[in-house]
Structure 1
């Protein structure tokens, strides 16, 4: 450190001397003639005190090396892999913990060491503080990174780490207590003059008091667990009549996820934007923000699409958000990475931008309200890394090592381009988003990707803790991966993300990939018309089934592909290519005269209901060409000629629909077909909007066979005519799965499930489980009279609770499971004996 009279020449000479001493760079010094600069090695800090130039130089090479050399991640899956990548880059040894359910998981493979901490339930493993501390001491880990979720915001766990001489990668215990509790955080923000949403966060947690406060605030209200995050336990209550039941459900989820049932209430703003600011603070009093993220596209308060920077936010509002977030962090002596979440009134965003640009007093008409602070790294942190080029996990570890922030001045934090992240979940968007359990048989990601990279020059990034062969179970969050895409503009990123999602394919278990693609293609999303009610407004369009004639095209393609697969496997194993001439010759020699199969789109398909059963028959015809096979394909009243040539399939529909397909097979049993066709005159109208009759189209069909599963993808539909109905294009131009089949022997068999409301009845009063899970609570008893729609039991799966309702009015005849019992998908849960009136109604309906 130095102090001297301000002299421009002497100051510049000193800087030049420092620069030449510590670097061998040929970069002109004029670039660094700022009062502060830094690079990866050198930090030069200067300031004025009473007119005297003061400064200090920090050389990272002379700072202490890491005080620790072995890091344990007290988490699982994707976030554990993410932390391991940076830790290994910094030369640290890594330790994974695992439950019995995760013994063969990817995060266990990635770590240098792994240690078991308990059985599958999170309360006995990833939430078991003593077991985790014991594991860290056993392997000699000096530092624990908690990831996100589980114990990441638990002040008791952070204190246990401190008591056992283990460094905790996160804020001080007191800061976690203050900001980890949503109620305490609201009080702190109010004292600091930050606007907060009207609500109740008192200690009186009785049902009576909470109901009184809800009525005072005014419905709709939001019920939120005071501890934790991730949307778990959050419930929107629209009326007094449903308050107590949703309160109980919120407490149950909070207890399961966070071990705490304290609840707070907030006024629910129906048209709002969820905008959060990433901050990082070191142990030397420095704190900066790395700009904001928009997380408004949510379902059940779980974020689906996140992007940075937030669209439609002016630079002045962006600065105000950042400054407020930094002030909030400093108010509690915060250290390490954290996120300050705000809610913005979307209906007044334009006026907010104008108000701030005119420098009016924003506190008289606040543009945003404080919601909460997450004292941890967020799931969506990669979008911030992509627009800043910074590795936030490295920042966390350096702060834990008592180093200065890698970048000390706010104006030096880069902001370049745009980034979006989507979360790929094992769930069924077309059956009430029920979480799904099962094995991932095959996993395909887009080409030219990089895992867990914060380098913005790599535009596509995958963060995942799953691999082929892994089981998505019932004990943990059903997220399979995060797909992150960056680019120069939001529109470029949106289009790139749609394409990347098409090339991301998961076999063996349903996902939300098609649903997310549809979101990205909506005009409202493209025009940045997003808010927290965006999905609810568009849900009907987002889950609309595809038209029957599209499904029929896919059925023909699936049948042809399946025929080739079967023939190849049966007769041509000696050839690596089912399209070669020897293989076709064998087809001719051994081919049955007829090849038929039944195709029934299962419950994960978006096929139209009237096509829930399709019978396809291929009949061998005589051909004048020796080099081709000729078939007649029949499905319902439709038929088409199918010609199979070497490396080519030609479909010629007899009702003037011309389909031509150039195809090829790949080693993973994928056949790709390019189709050109016209819509016939008599095509039924099974869509809201439809193209003009005679319009020509081109699309690409990918047919995969993975094990017993046959999946048909449509890779983009484009019109060959200049005019096309907009609504039709929006619906059908969706690179997505349109048919998924399961094969049994020589036929394709399917499984179709009913919705949660009907609860998959085996008979009129017998109810099946809609998913694998655990019985959290039984709400009825045998012999009890119930009405249609009454809750009978509560099922818990992937940390979410689902009430299973009675499909009819009657008497509870049998309940086959009790609390804490594990149930498989489609297991019979209970039986209801219908009332006489109900039975009479059923007989009349049958008659």
Structure 2
């Protein structure tokens, strides 16, 4: 009987609720918001009255086919880029109208295109746009948005903004203002956690912020010490002082970044654990006192405290430790009266963990002395939330909106939260790992994602799911005002190893042209044996940085240069044929290319100076026509050459590297498109000679080569070799076999010389360049000058800081390249500079005559 009574009451309340929503909430913002707020309050009281009569809703799970009844119908996302697009997708699925905000720099951005409405909020600088609270509130009122989702970053953890939303009768998708205030200060958060019995890292978070007091506390804690801003997150401003001598300079740098990013220069200190892992727990709480965790994520692969690869669940964590982490995270959330989605971050002591695992520590021992410490709580959705969605099949944005709507959690019983398989996420940044990871600005000329990529997956149906969350599209400009992240690539698998391999494959098929990225760098991380064996911690990148940033060997660069020249020849021949035939869609047979080949085809390539060991500024490749009835020519470059025969349906290359004396025979199938950009795919097949002593003549190898030309950029992708032999003894020579069949990708990047002589007789190609003086320093990227630290006429030593440049939310000290005198400084504080602009010049120190 009680079920029928409750159902009747529920139907009655829902009808009353919908009538009020239709009458008041969906009207323009000029209507009486007091009435709207009063109606919400009454509805809340009525719901609570019949909920008290209901038995426990244990095991309640969302019916995804049932459309929810929201007390709002229009949502504004107070953010930009990828996270705005992500929230819009769920909001649309739930039947909500969407509103984007944008700065002048984002007028034509993807998140603006995806929204139903868009409102301009100011100039490009974040302080005048995405951090302008009053402008965002006014935008919501202007379009009648009753709810604001803050995304992550910008104002997402700003209690003042959440309070302004509340004062203007706008729902804020996040925790209560009080919880944001408590957790917004890392210092206050430490105190609350200590009182709640949550273990915290030894440190200092006092009000005395004098240099003297902070240095004294650092000595007390013991070096190395972590210096971190009390406000904000994302690794901004975090520094590690390994000794007293470097503490003061790093403290000043941390304060500067904290003030720039978060408007607060308050600093806290923590003991830095050299061997540690960064493990965080996803928690969600509703307005009715229910809390669950959705397991943990490992984010230990970091550089400058910026996460690069995240995975869930954390590898090497026992079920008992997983439960304890989750319970501790929920206890932390309850201690601050939390609601909505949040993340509790822990630092895991690797030394204690390994020691305890060896001793087979029991669960009760973990509870007495856990091997982890509370770091901070993020009162928002995390960048890496997709890996949690992958392993649980839940849509966290939907959970956020339902909690904001006053509903119970979709699943209120912890034991009913699914956990299946493994997921990994890689962040794709516009940065150059081979040039000190400097952020890059520029236009994305071409953007290629893996096939069958889905933009959002809430219920992965197989282990091969590939998800891409992005806020940029082909043709977009990556500017200097915002974070340089281009996209997040997320994959899942039945096991961690399967997920790792899926991510490697997906990254290789993700191609960005026109601007350097970290894609190849991330692939190298995933291929390292240490990563594959789960031996990762926060020092992982530092230990392996030399291998991860090692340039391509000369043989690989020359190998790829030959492929690039052949592809260029095929493409240019194809274009000439199209011009002569007048058919823009024609695809002539390869034999027709011989009509346009004279004695020589010359091409000049400039290897990427950061990722190649080739010392030559340019590599000149000549395809010399041979005396033969077929189209045959010799490719020459330095001590490397290949005999090329172009056949009707394939190209044969007999390549010989005189340096290593390893001849190969290749069969290449090609295809081309006639446009300003092109891609040519080559399938290579070869056999190794018997005298190599490695493999028999029965062994053949295959690999795919993709050559892209986008503008002046030529990129060669070598996917790796594989063997095809039915007679091979699997127990053969491992090291040599691996050397020949290494499946790791080789990506060689070139620039075409400005002067090209294609289809000419092979005269030498001339290049001109204007070099800078020995002491002139160019800006490594577009940005803004923050400080000038030297004066004209000042004597400086090599390595002395001259300027501080701010770009993409980070500050960079620009150092003197040589000893000498400052001859000129060409920019001042707050000046904007373009990439490669000459910032200053040092007059070399004159040697004294004896």
TM-score normalised by length of structure 1 = 0.87
Deviating above 4 A after TM superposition, structure 1's stretches of 4 or more consecutive aligned residues are 52-64, 353-357, 573-579, 677-683, 690-697, 719-722, 726-732, 747-753
Q: Deviations over 1:670-693 (max 9, x none)?
A: 21122245789999xxxxxx9899
Show the counterpart of 1:844.
none
Contact 2:557/2:614, CA 8 A, preserved across alignment: no
Q: What is the SS of the residue equivalent to 1:817?
A: coil
Change (3 A) 1:523 1:840: farther
Cα shift at 1:553 = 1.2
Show the counterpart of 1:404.
408
- Distance in 2 (CA, whole Å) between partners of 1:80 and 1:717 is 41
Q: What is the SS of the residue equivalent to 2:254?
A: helix
| Number of residue equivalences | 784
2:773 to 725, 740, 763: 763
- Distance in 2 (CA, whole Å) between partners of 1:399 and 1:93 is 18
Q: What is the SS of the residue equivalent to 1:344?
A: strand
The answer to whether residue 389 in structure 2 is matched with residue 385 in structure 1 is: yes
The answer to whether residue 658 in structure 2 is matched with residue 650 in structure 1 is: no
Structure 2: tracts of 5 or more residues without a match: 12-47, 759-764
How do 1:336-351 residues align onto structure 2 when only pairs under 5 Å count?
336-351=340-355
Show the counterpart of 1:633.
635
Cα shift at 1:723 = 2.8
How do 1:529-540 residues align onto structure 2 when only pairs under 5 Å count?
529-540=535-546
- Distance in 2 (CA, whole Å) between partners of 1:533 and 1:366 is 21
- Distance in 2 (CA, whole Å) between partners of 1:85 and 1:811 is 57
- Distance in 1 (CA, whole Å) between partners of 2:217 and 2:204 is 7
Q: What is the SS of the residue equivalent to 1:600?
A: strand
Q: Deviations over 1:647-701 (max 9, x none)?
A: 3111112555123132221547221122245789999xxxxxx989999754221
The answer to whether residue 588 in structure 2 is matched with residue 580 in structure 1 is: yes
Aligned CA RMSD, in angstroms, stands at: 3.3
Show the counterpart of 1:5.
none
Cα shift at 1:589 = 2.6
How do 1:133-212 residues align onto structure 2 when only pairs under 5 Å count?
133-212=137-216
Contact 2:283/2:329, CA 8 A, preserved across alignment: yes
Change (3 A) 1:726 1:652: closer
- Distance in 1 (CA, whole Å) between partners of 2:279 and 2:402 is 27
Show the counterpart of 1:307.
311
- Distance in 1 (CA, whole Å) between partners of 2:680 and 2:360 is 56
Q: What is the SS of the residue equivalent to 1:159?
A: helix
Show the counterpart of 1:609.
614
Show the counterpart of 1:77.
81
2:820 to 810, 818, 825: 810
2:791 to 781, 793, 814: 781
- Distance in 1 (CA, whole Å) between partners of 2:434 and 2:767 is 14
- Distance in 2 (CA, whole Å) between partners of 1:630 and 1:840 is 62
Q: Deviations over 1:378-420 (max 9, x none)?
A: 0000000000000000000010011110001001101111100
Cα shift at 1:735 = 1.9
The answer to whether residue 513 in structure 2 is matched with residue 507 in structure 1 is: yes
Show the counterpart of 1:675.
684
The answer to whether residue 287 in structure 2 is matched with residue 283 in structure 1 is: yes
Q: What is the SS of the residue equivalent to 1:725?
A: helix
Contact 1:564/1:578, CA 8 A, preserved across alignment: no
Cα shift at 1:747 = 5.9
Show the counterpart of 1:358.
362
Q: Deviations over 1:61-110 (max 9, x none)?
A: 99982111111100000000000000001111110001111000000000
1:469 to 475, 478, 489: 475
Cα shift at 1:607 = 2.2
TM-score normalised by length of structure 2 = 0.87
Show the counterpart of 1:735.
745
Show the counterpart of 1:110.
114
- Distance in 1 (CA, whole Å) between partners of 2:766 and 2:211 is 46
Q: What is the SS of the residue equivalent to 2:607?
A: coil
Segment drifting more, 256-265 vs 354-363: 354-363
Structure 1: tracts of 5 or more residues without a match: 3-13, 23-44, 684-689, 754-759, 842-847
- Distance in 1 (CA, whole Å) between partners of 2:170 and 2:604 is 61
Cα shift at 1:215 = 1.5
Segment drifting more, 710-719 vs 816-825: 710-719
Cα shift at 1:762 = 2.4
Q: Deviations over 1:137-192 (max 9, x none)?
A: 11111111000000000001111111111111000011001112111111011111
- Distance in 1 (CA, whole Å) between partners of 2:359 and 2:186 is 29
Contact 1:316/1:357, CA 8 A, preserved across alignment: no
Q: Deviations over 1:479-526 (max 9, x none)?
A: 110000011111111111111111111111111111111111111111
Show the counterpart of 2:23.
none
Change (3 A) 1:415 1:745: same
1:90 to 72, 94, 98: 94
Q: Deviations over 1:40-76 (max 9, x none)?
A: xxxxx9xxx9xx9954698989998211111110000
Change (3 A) 1:656 1:396: closer
Contact 1:600/1:750, CA 8 A, preserved across alignment: no
1:219 to 211, 223, 236: 223
How do 1:540-619 residues align onto structure 2 when only pairs under 5 Å count?
540-573=546-579, 574=582, 580-581=588-589, 584-585=591-592, 587-603=593-609, 606-610=611-615, 612-619=617-624
Contact 1:786/1:806, CA 8 A, preserved across alignment: yes
1:121 to 125, 132, 147: 125
Contact 1:548/1:611, CA 8 A, preserved across alignment: no
- Distance in 2 (CA, whole Å) between partners of 1:726 and 1:498 is 23
Cα shift at 1:603 = 3.4
